[in-house]
Amino acid sequence: MANESLNILIQQGLAALKEGSKIAAKATDDIQDDATDSQLKAALEQGNQQSKQWADRIERSYEAAGGKGDEENPILEAHYEVSKKIRGEAKDDYSRDLGIIASGQLALHYWIASFGTLTNYAKQTGLTQVAEDLHKCLTEAKQADEQHTALAEQILGKN
C-alpha cells in the first residue's frame, strides 16, 4: 500500500515536470532574445538543449511509472512570470542579464529539488530506470546551477 501511494506521488511529480518542461521551452525562447552577454546567450542555448533531454527522460519516466494525463505546474508558471517582470523592468543590459541568471537559478533550484525527491521515491518503489534518469537530470541541473553562478560572477567582474 505504501509503495502504491508513493507511486501516485511519483506520477503527480512527473506530470508536473512534464508541464514544467513545456513552460521552460516557451520561456527559454523569450529569455534568449533578451540576453545580451554572449556567454549568457551560449549558456541559455546549452540549457535549452539540456531541457529537451530532460523532457525526454521525464516523458519516459512518466510512462514507466504508469502516469496518465497532465498536471498543471503553477510553480514554474510563476517563475516564468517573475522572469518576464525582471527582464521588463531592467534599466540596462547589465541588470537584465544578471536578472536572467537569478531567475534561471530560481527555476534550476526547483528542478534540483524535484529531481532529487523523485529520484529517491523512484528508488524506494523499485523504479530503477526512472531513478537513474532522474538522477542524471539532477546531476546536470546542479552543474548548470554552478555554471550560472560562475557566469554571474564573471559578469559582475566586468563592471
Average predicted confidence (pLDDT) for the chain: 92
Could you tell me how far CA 96 lies from the centroid of its own chain? 20
pLDDT above 90: residue 137: yes
Q: Worst-scoring range by mean pLDDT, 77-86, 96-105, 107-116, 138-147?
A: 77-86
Per-residue confidence (pLDDT) for residue 71, from 0 to 100: 75
**Cα–Cα distance for residue pair 57/102, rounded to 1 Å:** 26
pLDDT above 70: residue 1: no
Q: How confident is the model over 33-48, as a mean pLDDT?
A: 92
* 15-31 pLDDT, tens digit each: 999 999 988 888 887 89
**Cα–Cα distance for residue pair 136/125, rounded to 1 Å:** 18
Per-residue confidence (pLDDT) for residue 139, from 0 to 100: 98
Per-residue confidence (pLDDT) for residue 2, from 0 to 100: 64
**Cα–Cα distance for residue pair 144/35, rounded to 1 Å:** 17
Q: How confident is the model over 63-84, as a mean pLDDT?
A: 87
How distant, in Å, are the alpha carbons of 21, 49, 59, 71 from that of 132?
A: 19, 20, 14, 23
CATH superfamily of the domain spanning 2-158: Ferritin, core subunit, four-helix bundle (1.20.1260.10)
- The percentage of the chain sitting over the pLDDT mark of 90, rounded to a whole number, equals 75
